[in-house]
Amino acid sequence: MDYFAVQKKNLRKTYLFITVFISMMAFLGLIIDGLFETFPIGTIVLLIIASIQVLVGTQSGASLVLNSVGAKPVNEKELEEKQLKNIVEEISIAAGLKTVPRVYVMEDENINAFATGFKEQDSAVCVTRGLLKNLNREETEGVVAHEVSHILNKDTLLMTTISAILGTMIFVQLFAWRSLRFMTFGYRGSRSSRKKDSGSGAYIIFALLVIALLATLFSFIGRLTFFAVSRSREYLADAKGVELTRNPLGLSGALRKIAKTQRVKGKVKGATSATAHLFISDPLKRNINNKEGFVADLFSTHPPIHKRIALLENVSPEVVLRELQQL
Neighbours of 294 (CB within 10 A): 7
Assess contact for 307 and 324: CB atoms under 8 A. Answer: no
Neighbours of 258 (CB within 10 A): 27
Best CA proximity match to 243, nearest among 161, 114, 152:
152
* Alpha carbons 56 and 108: distance in angstroms, whole number: 27
Buried b (16+ CB within 10 A) or exposed e, 225-246: bbbebbbebbebbbbbbbebbe
The answer, yes or no, to whether the previous bond of 317 is cis (omega within 30 of 0) is no
Point out the catalytic residue in the list 147, 292, 318, 323: 147
Q: What is the DSSP secondary structure assignment for residue 100, as one 8-state letter? A: P
Pairing of the two strands 102-106 and 124-128 = parallel
Buried b (16+ CB within 10 A) or exposed e, 103-127: bbbbebbbbbbbbbbbebebbbbbb
Q: With H, G, I as helix, E, B as strand and everything else as coil, classify residue 41.
A: helix
Q: With H, G, I as helix, E, B as strand and everything else as coil, classify residue 129.
A: helix
Q: Percentages helix, strand, coil for the chain, rounded to the nearest 5?
A: 70, 5, 25
For the chain, how far is it from start to end, CA to CA, in angstroms? Answer: 34
* Alpha carbons 36 and 297: distance in angstroms, whole number: 39
Is 120 designated active site?
no
Q: What is the CA radius of gyration of the chain?
A: 23
Catalytic center residues = 147
